Amino acid sequence: MSKGKQNETYLQDTGVQGQYKNWFLDYASYVILERAVPAIEDGLKPVQRRILHAMKEMDDGRFNKVANIIGQSMQYHPHGDASIGDALVNMGQKDLLIETQGNWGDVRTGDDAAAARYIEARLSKFALEVAFNAKTTEWQLSYDGRKNEPVVLPMKFPLLLAQGAEGIAVGLSTKILPHNFCELIDASIKYLKGKKFEIFPDFQTGGMADVTNYNEGKRGGKIRVRALIEELDKKTLLIKSVPYGITTSGLIDSIIKANDQGKIKIKKVTDNTAAEVEVQVDLAPGISPDITIDALYAFTDCEISISPNACVIVDQKPRFLSVHELLATATDNTRELLRKELTIKLSELQEKWHYTSLEKIFFEEKIYKELEKKHETWDKVLEAIDKGFQPFKKQLKRAISREDIIKLTEKPVRRIYRLDIDELNNQIKGLEADIKQVQYDLEHLTEFAIAYFENLLKKFGKGRERKTEIKPFEAIQAKQVAIANTKLYVNWADGFIGTSLKKDELVFECSDLDDIIVFTRRGIMKVVRVGEKVYIGKDIIHVAVFQKNDERTTYNMIYADGNTGTSFAKRFNVTGITRDKEYDLTKGTDKSKVHYFTANANGEAEVVTIVLSPNCPARNKSFEFYFEELEIKGRGAIGNQVSKYPIKSVKLKEAGKSTLSAIKLWFDDKFGRLNTEAKGQYLGNFDGSEKLVVIYQDGNYELTDLEMTQRFDPEKILLVEKFNPEKIITAVYLDNEKLQFNIKRFKIETSTLQSKFLFIKEGKGNRLEAVTTQAKPILLLHTGRGTQARTQKIKVADFIDVMGWKAVGNKLADFTKSTEIEWEPVVKEEEGPQGNLFS
Give the residue numbers annotated as catalytic, written as ranges: 118
Considering all CA atoms of the chain, what is the largest pairwise distance in Å, rounded to the nearest integer? Answer: 156
Q: 78-83, long-range: CB within 8 Å, 24+ apart, which pairs?
A: 78/143, 78/144, 79/47, 81/116, 83/47
Cβ atoms within 10 Å, residue 344: 14
Structural element, H or E, at residue 10: helix 3-14
Helical spans, DSSP H, in 263-322: 289-299
Structural element, H or E, at residue 115: none
**CA-to-CA dists, residue 798 to 396, 792, 793, 801, angstroms:** 90, 15, 12, 8
Structural element, H or E, at residue 788: none
Distance (Å, rounded) from C-alpha 569 to C-alpha 595? 10
Q: Which of 182, 132, 135, 168 is nearest to 153 (CA)?
A: 132
Distance (Å, rounded) from C-alpha 161 to C-alpha 159? 5
Distance (Å, rounded) from C-alpha 419 to C-alpha 281? 80
Cβ atoms within 10 Å, residue 402: 11
**Cα end-to-end span (Å), the chain:** 83
Beta-carbon contacts of 787 under 8 Å, excluding residues fewer than 6 positions away, are none
Beta-carbon contacts of 234 under 8 Å, excluding residues fewer than 6 positions away, are 283, 289, 754
Asked whether 474 and 673 are in contact (CB, 8 A), the reply is: yes
Chain mean position to CA 553:
38
Strands of 371-504, DSSP E = 469-470, 486-491, 496-498
Asked whether 780 and 821 are in contact (CB, 8 A), the reply is: yes
Distance (Å, rounded) from C-alpha 623 to C-alpha 651? 11
**CA-to-CA dists, residue 821 to 245, 773, 777, 815, angstroms:** 45, 16, 12, 11
Q: What is the dihedral of CA 676, 682, 684, 685, to 10 degrees?
A: 20
What length does the chain have?
839
Asked whether 185 and 455 are in contact (CB, 8 A), the reply is: no
Backbone angles phi, psi at 250, to 5 degrees: -65, -35
Asked whether 231 and 237 are in contact (CB, 8 A), the reply is: yes
Q: Residue 216 carries which DSSP code?
A: G
* DSSP string covering 680-719: SEEEEEE-TT--EEEEETTSEEEEE---TT----GGGEEE
Chain mean position to CA 379:
75
Beta-carbon contacts of 486 under 8 Å, excluding residues fewer than 6 positions away, are 262, 499, 509, 510, 511, 512, 530
Q: Residue 116 carries which DSSP code?
A: T
Q: Which amino acid is at 577?
A: I
Asked whether 206 and 241 are in contact (CB, 8 A), the reply is: yes
Q: Buried b vs exposed e over 525-564: b needs ≥16 C-beta within 10 Å?
A: bbbbebeeebebbebbebbbbbbeeeeebbbbbbbbbbee
